[in-house]
């Protein structure tokens, strides 16, 4: 009993930090309706800055104030970020807002890695570290002081939003932006102020957490998951409930550390809480009034299937035939990325279900290939079939939450699932082999070796064939009745259900197909790597895949091809690798490009290039000899997509 009490008290420190991050998320959601997935990264950057600057002689108070103020007014998540990025996106689809905060997460992680490299410093304590005793149990008083800080701030925020003019204006803007504007309240000013306040809370959490944790930006960025779980239970409205749940999560995680040896159980706990709340309440994040209906990313119809397949296949074969091995490796990486990117196009682009666990599907498939080939002795390509058989049911199971929730809600659920799978499954050394990874024998087909090292051209051709098959399949899905039903569900679920579309079945079909495609891509990736390590399939990898697909064009197969070209390790990366700093700063560039793309070209590079090609073609053509081609705008608004689905049936 004493151990339970001791570890519960020790867990209040981490719980208080979760609470501060969650309070920042709630503040922003109250004002703008956006959920910041970058708040963990903001806390992480603040923590690392505090630790490094104090180790170089800066006074702790000065370093703490600098970190908090910079987060509030700078472009790392506060005032400037709202004015430059979120304000132009105020009428954008939820997907654009979500990927923008994910892009900010990527930028912050990349900057922290490059600026501070591996900070092996110990941050000084902010609070007293004296030891106190309660019922014979000794512990540091700083844990209780952290808890008191979170409670006091929650109380202050409750009073601010309940009794002040600022709080009244924020509530008015959240309920009806147009009505608030008519009353003289600027939703933009309100949003900027709340973004600044929310970011300052996240930075404060990082500063307070720095003395009691390792300063690892990847780990600190994932603090957003338990914070989101707490905010969800509080329904993004109650500061008190949010703090109570966050502290409870910290205490439970600490107790589990003492009594449970299963790796990853602590990281899986927030996901379990999210799912339980979702089952009970269904709708997790409250809606808000809007001044305009957001246009969805374009999902252009595929008029010609043969031509794009010939172009992609021809370029891949030509490159494999004439380029050196380094560039051949880049082509193969691009092809594998196209496969996994197609899974994002199906589930997110066509169906509108924001999934942050695609690399988790690919990772499970890669490890199943290793198991099937090494332990079961299955010859190629049977391990790939085994991987598909295992992953598709997992995809359907993890897609079940989509029946109850969508949009930001589903993004939160799938991010929690990705963290849980990464820690609970991939973190199991007995199953994955730990840092050394699990070996994958080189494929051999009819006595012909496809070893990616010894025969890179053969393996590249194999990857090309698989990629073309998946491209053709997704094109057919887009043209089919099920594809039109997916677009109808993406556009307006209620309207789709009203005309007879089974929304739940359509969503599960999308997740099943997406998991199938990701499993194929993960299997080929496993053969390419030769040894599968869990570090390739961490949650950041899923976020990175969504980022490059959104940049390329999330609702079109051409976007998946563009994602393969620009991905880290792909052909463009290898070509530019000779430029100093490109490889080191690639994640920062990807995140920044994602943010810029979301603001300026939400349809993606592929759609923009298509429009430019048509413009140049029509300008070069003789006037009066070419009739203008109709532009497919399916997905721009609910009515056309739903009507198209009805006509197909």
The residues, any chain, with a CB within 8 Å of residue 478's CB and separated by 6 or more, are 299, 301, 302, 350, 557
Domain end among 219, 252, 285: 252
Residue 341 and residue 240 share a domain: no
The residues, any chain, with a CB within 8 Å of residue 297's CB and separated by 6 or more, are 93, 95, 349, 553, 554, 555, 602, 603, 604, 635
On the question of pLDDT at 476 being above 60, the answer is: yes
Could you tell me if residue 314 is inside a domain? yes
Residue 246 and residue 311 share a domain: no
Q: Please write the tens of the pLDDT for every residue from 594-637.
A: 888 888 887 778 877 877 777 787 777 655 444 444 444 444 44
- In the numeric block, the tokens 């066509």 are attached to 350
Residue 343 and residue 247 share a domain: no
- Compute the C-alpha angle 77/82/86, nearest 5°: 110
pLDDT at 308: 84
Residue 598 and residue 454 share a domain: yes
Q: Please write the tens of the pLDDT for every residue from 194-239.
A: 999 999 999 999 999 888 888 888 888 888 988 988 888 888 888 9
Q: Which residues pair with 532 in a beta bridge?
A: 438
Structural domains of the chain, count: 2
This prediction has a pTM of 0.84
Could you tell me if residue 624 is inside a domain? no
Domain end among 211, 226, 252: 252
Tokens of 173: 């803007």
- Compute the C-alpha angle 361/362/365, nearest 5°: 90
Residue 311 and residue 248 share a domain: no
On the question of pLDDT at 589 being above 50, the answer is: yes
pLDDT band at residue 460 under the 50/70/90 scheme = very high
Tokens of 139: 């512990």
Could you tell me if residue 468 is inside a domain? yes
- Please provide the size of the chain in residues: 649
pLDDT band at residue 78 under the 50/70/90 scheme = confident
- In the numeric block, the tokens 């719980």 are attached to 15
Q: How many CB atoms lie within 10 A of CB 240?
A: 13
Q: How far is residue 359 from each of residues 38, 519, 561, measured CA to CA in Å?
A: 19, 9, 17
Q: What is the CATH number of the domain that holds 503?
A: 1.10.3470
Residue 313 and residue 238 share a domain: no
Instruction: Give the lowest-confidence range in 270-274, 374-378, 500-504.
Output: 270-274
Burial of 34-60, coded b for 16+ CB within 10 Å and e otherwise, reads bbbbbbbbbbbbbbbbbbbbbeeeeeb
- In the numeric block, the tokens 């929730």 are attached to 405
- In the numeric block, the tokens 């709630």 are attached to 26
Residue 335 and residue 232 share a domain: no
Residue in 170, 308, 173 with CA at minimum distance from that of residue 239: 170
Tokens of 149: 């800080």
Residue span of the structural domain in which 368 resides: 306-576+585-609
Residue 522 and residue 600 share a domain: yes
Tokens of 468: 């073309």
Could you tell me if residue 40 is inside a domain? yes
Q: Which residues pair with 448 in a beta bridge?
A: 445
Residue 144 and residue 8 share a domain: yes
Could you tell me if residue 488 is inside a domain? yes
pLDDT band at residue 90 under the 50/70/90 scheme = confident
Residue 546 and residue 401 share a domain: yes
Residue in 493, 466, 435 with CA at minimum distance from that of residue 339: 466
Could you tell me if residue 13 is inside a domain? yes
Residue 131 and residue 35 share a domain: yes
pLDDT at 140: 74
| Average pLDDT estimate for 640-647 | 50
Could you tell me if residue 291 is inside a domain? no
| Average pLDDT estimate for 166-187 | 78
| Average pLDDT estimate for 520-539 | 89
Spatial contact of 361 and 417, defined as CB atoms under 8 Å apart: no
Residue bearing the bigger pLDDT, 272 or 101: 101
Could you tell me if residue 294 is inside a domain? no
Tokens of 126: 């902010």
Residue 130 and residue 9 share a domain: yes
């Amino acid at each position: 009993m004493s151990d339970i009490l001791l570890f519960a008290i020790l867990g209040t420190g981490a719980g208080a930090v979760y609470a501060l991050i969650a309070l920042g998320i709630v503040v922003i959601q109250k004002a703008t309706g956006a959920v910041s997935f970058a708040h963990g990264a903001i806390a992480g950057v603040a923590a690392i800055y505090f630790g490094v600057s104090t180790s170089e002689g800066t006074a702790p108070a000065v370093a703490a104030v600098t970190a908090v103020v910079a987060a509030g007014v700078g472009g790392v998540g506060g005032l400037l970020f709202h004015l430059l990025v979120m304000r132009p996106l105020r009428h954008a689809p939820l997907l654009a807002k979500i990927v923008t905060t994910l892009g900010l997460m990527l930028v912050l992680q990349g900057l922290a890695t490059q600026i501070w490299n591996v900070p092996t410093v110990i941050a000084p304590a902010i609070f007293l570290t004296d030891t106190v005793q309660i019922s014979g149990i000794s512990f540091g008083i700083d844990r209780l002081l952290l808890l008191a800080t979170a409670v006091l701030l929650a109380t202050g925020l409750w009073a601010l939003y309940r009794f002040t003019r600022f709080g009244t204006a924020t509530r008015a803007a959240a309920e009806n932006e147009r009505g608030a504007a008519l009353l003289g309240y600027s939703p933009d000013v309100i949003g900027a102020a709340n973004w600044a306040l929310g970011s300052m809370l996240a930075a404060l959490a990082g500063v307070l957490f720095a003395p009691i944790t390792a300063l690892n930006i990847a780990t600190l960025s994932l603090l957003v998951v338990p914070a989101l779980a707490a905010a969800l239970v509080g329904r993004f409205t109650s500061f008190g409930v949010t703090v109570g749940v966050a502290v409870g999560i910290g205490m439970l995680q600490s107790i589990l550390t003492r009594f449970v040896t299963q790796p990853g159980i602590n990281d899986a706990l927030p996901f379990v809480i999210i799912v339980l709340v979702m089952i009970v309440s269904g709708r997790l994040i409250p809606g808000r009034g809007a001044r305009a209906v957001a246009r969805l990313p374009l999902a252009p119809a595929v008029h010609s299937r043969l031509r794009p397949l010939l172009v992609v296949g021809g370029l891949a074969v030509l490159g494999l035939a004439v380029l050196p091995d380094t560039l051949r490796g880049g082509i193969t990486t691009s092809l594998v990325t196209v496969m996994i990117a197609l899974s994002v196009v199906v589930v997110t682009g066509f169906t509108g279900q924001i999934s942050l666990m695609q690399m988790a599907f690919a990772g499970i498939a890669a490890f199943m290939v290793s198991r099937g080939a090494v332990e079961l002795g299955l010859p190629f390509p049977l391990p790939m079939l085994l991987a598909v058989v295992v992953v598709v049911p997992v995809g359907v199971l993890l897609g079940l939450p989509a029946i109850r929730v969508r949009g930001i809600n589903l993004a939160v659920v799938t991010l929690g699932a990705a963290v849980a799978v990464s820690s609970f499954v991939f973190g199991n050394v007995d199953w994955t082999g730990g840092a050394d990874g699990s070996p994958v024998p080189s494929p051999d087909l009819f006595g012909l070796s496809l070893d990616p090292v010894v025969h890179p051209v053969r393996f590249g051709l194999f990857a090309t064939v698989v990629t073309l098959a998946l491209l053709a399949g997704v094109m057919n899905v887009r043209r089919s009745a099920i594809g039109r039903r997916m677009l109808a569900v993406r556009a307006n679920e209620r309207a789709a259900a009203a005309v007879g579309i089974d929304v739940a079945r359509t969503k599960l079909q999308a997740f099943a197909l997406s998991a199938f495609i990701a499993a194929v891509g993960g299997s080929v990736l496993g053969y390419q790597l030769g040894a599968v390590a869990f570090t390739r399939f961490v949650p950041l990898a899923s976020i990175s895949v969504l980022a490059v697909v959104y940049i390329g064009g999330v609702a079109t197969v051409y976007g998946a091809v563009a994602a393969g070209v620009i991905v880290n390790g792909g052909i463009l990366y290898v070509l530019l690798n000779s430029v100093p700093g490109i490889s080191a700063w690639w994640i920062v560039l990807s995140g920044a490009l994602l943010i810029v793309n979301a603001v300026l070209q939400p349809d993606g590079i592929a759609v923009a290039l298509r429009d430019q090609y048509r413009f140049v073609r029509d300008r070069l053509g003789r006037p009066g000899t070419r009739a203008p081609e109709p532009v497919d705008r399916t997905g721009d608004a609910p009515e056309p997509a739903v009507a198209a689905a009805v006509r197909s049936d």
